[in-house]
Structure 1
Amino acid sequence: MRYLLTIAYDGTNYRGWQKQIDELTIQQTIEEVLSQVLNTEIIIHGSGRTDAGVHAYAQHAHFDVKKQVDVDKLKYSLNSLLPNDIVITNIKQVADDFHARFSAKKKLYEYVIINGERSPFMRDHALFIKTPLDVKVLKENIIKFRGIHNFKNFTTKPDDENDYVREIYFTDVYKQGDVIRLQFIGEGFMRSQIRLMVGALLAIALNKLPADYIDLNLNTEAQRKTISEKAPARGLYLLGVDY
């Protein structure tokens, strides 16, 4: 039997999603509790990896178990035992050939910026920038990422790999009060891709990079003309996955 978990988590205290030796991760924490509740070793397969400090409203992961389970009871048991910064929001049975990663059609990410005074309550959940940001400049540049592009210069994926082409279906910028949200919907994203794209957008808006930086660094195998900084992980959220 194959089941799909929908998971919300605050990534502040974890070294990312993927299991690592001697590190606290989201995957490891859930696997340990699942194995305890089901009394058998369980391995979960996520829709993708989130970096240390990145959050999720709706990460997805599947697992296999030999027996049928009561999903309502399982959800209750898991949430009773998991730490309070990880919550299972839904569990459902899926087809045996379903895969949380390879069956995904779209992923939605959001980056949150507070363009104003720091708040102690949001210190681990947004990027604070006091200098006023020009939303028009952000909108003019974020749209350049839409479509099918070679994103080699916007990922930390190893150079010995050669598949850097991805499609981004939608991008936009929203502002409400001091809060600015940058949204990206795509078929999938490479390591640090969104954080590097956000870093470039912010550097352009703050006049730290030239206005044509994105144009020069998309669809080229050449080394970055100027390296943009990765935006901090704390502002990034996985909002959902479409199947």
Structure 2
Amino acid sequence: MRYFIEIAYNGANYFGWQIQPNAITVQEVLEGKLSILLKTEIKVTGAGRTDAGVHAKQLFAHFDCNEITNISELLFRLNSFLPKDISISEIFEVKKDAHARFDAVEREYEYMVSLKKDPFVDGFAYQIHNKPDVELMNKAAKTLLDHNDFQCFSRSKTDVKTYYCNIKKAFWEEENEQLIFTISADRFLRNMVRAIVGTLLDVGYHKTSLESFQKIVEDKDRGKAGASAPAHGLYLTKVTYPETIIK
């Protein structure tokens, strides 16, 4: 039987989601705890992979096992067993061919920027000292919706077959001494959101013009885009699926 699991985590202590040699990851920890509780080897497949230090408010993964007779009890025991920086909010049965990665139709990220020193967001937002031109950054962000090839914002050494993404929204908001960048798309490339944020901040500081921003996207050259914003300000906030995956 196949189950979906909804996960949230503070990524500070992990080298991202995906299992890798000689580094602790969220996937590794989750698989280990599930395997112990279910008394069989469990492999989980996530909706995507977050980089080292990136957080997730909502990420889904799927795993296969025999029928779970008491999901509520498993949920309680799993949360008790996991470290404090990983939590599970839901486990539910889905159709046997449902896939956490391939069935996702939309993913949403937020990037948090703090405009002042704040001990309560330390490690959870990128602190900057001078406020950028938010209106200009929003003008640049809006142009992303007119493009679909984002090679310029992708990590250089990657194994993807296409750089095409359908961005559905991208905008900045200011709230309580913070700037929040929200972006959603059908898929994202590795390092894409952090590279976009870094380049948009260059626009906000008048280092890059709107015309130059457009040309960066059109030229498809990562070397011309801005530096990636730090990982600790980035959150995967939402993954959306069609209702048809539910059994």
Normalised by the length of structure 1, the TM-score is 0.94
In 2, distance between residues paired with 1:44 and 1:69?
19
Q: What RMSD in Å do the two structures reach over aligned CA positions?
A: 1.5
Instruction: Give the superposition deviation at 1:209.
Output: 2.5
Q: State the shift of 1:225 in Å.
A: 6.3
Deviations 1:138-197 (A, max 9, x none): 111111111441101111053775511111011121111311110011001000001000
Distance in 2, matches of 1:39 and 1:212, equals 58
Residue by residue, what CA displacement relative to the aligned partner does 1:86-143 show, whole Å, maximum 9, x if unpaired? 000111110001000000000010001111x212232210001110122111111111
Provide the aligned length of Structure 1 versus Structure 2: 241
Where does residue 15 of structure 1 map in the other structure? 15
Partner amino acid for 1:46?
Answer: G
Give the Cα separation in 2 of the matches to 1:240 and 1:82. Answer: 22
Whether 2:6 is the aligned partner of 1:6: answer yes
Alignment partners' CA distance in 2, 1:28 and 1:44: 9
Correspondence for 1:241: 239
> CA contact under 8 A between 1:2 and 1:96: conserved in structure 2?
yes
Query: 2:107 maps to which residue?
Result: 107
Letter in 2 for 1:226: K
- Unaligned segments of structure 1, at least 5 residues: none
**Structure 2: which 5+ runs fail to align?**
242-247
1:113 aligns to what SS in structure 2?
A: strand
Give the aligned residue type for 1:40. Answer: T
CA distance in 1, matches of 2:59, 2:31: 15
Q: Distance in 2 between matches of 1:75 and 1:6?
A: 10
Query: Aligned partners of 1:123 and 1:70: how far apart in 2?
Result: 39
Given that residues 19 and 28 in structure 1 are in contact (C-alpha distance below 8 angstroms), is that contact kept between their aligned partners in structure 2? yes
Q: So what's the TM-score if we normalise by structure 2?
A: 0.93
Moved over 4 A (4+): 159-162
Aligned to 1:52: 52
Relative to structure 1, the CA distance from residue 155 to residue 135 in structure 2 (aligned partners, 3 Å threshold; closer, same or farther) is: same
CA contact 1:31–1:42 (8 Å) conserved in 2: yes
Measured after TM superposition, the shift of residue 213 of structure 1 is: 2.8
Q: Any conservation in 1 of the 2:18–2:27 contact (CA below 8 Å)?
A: yes
Equivalent residue, structure 2, for 1:137? 136
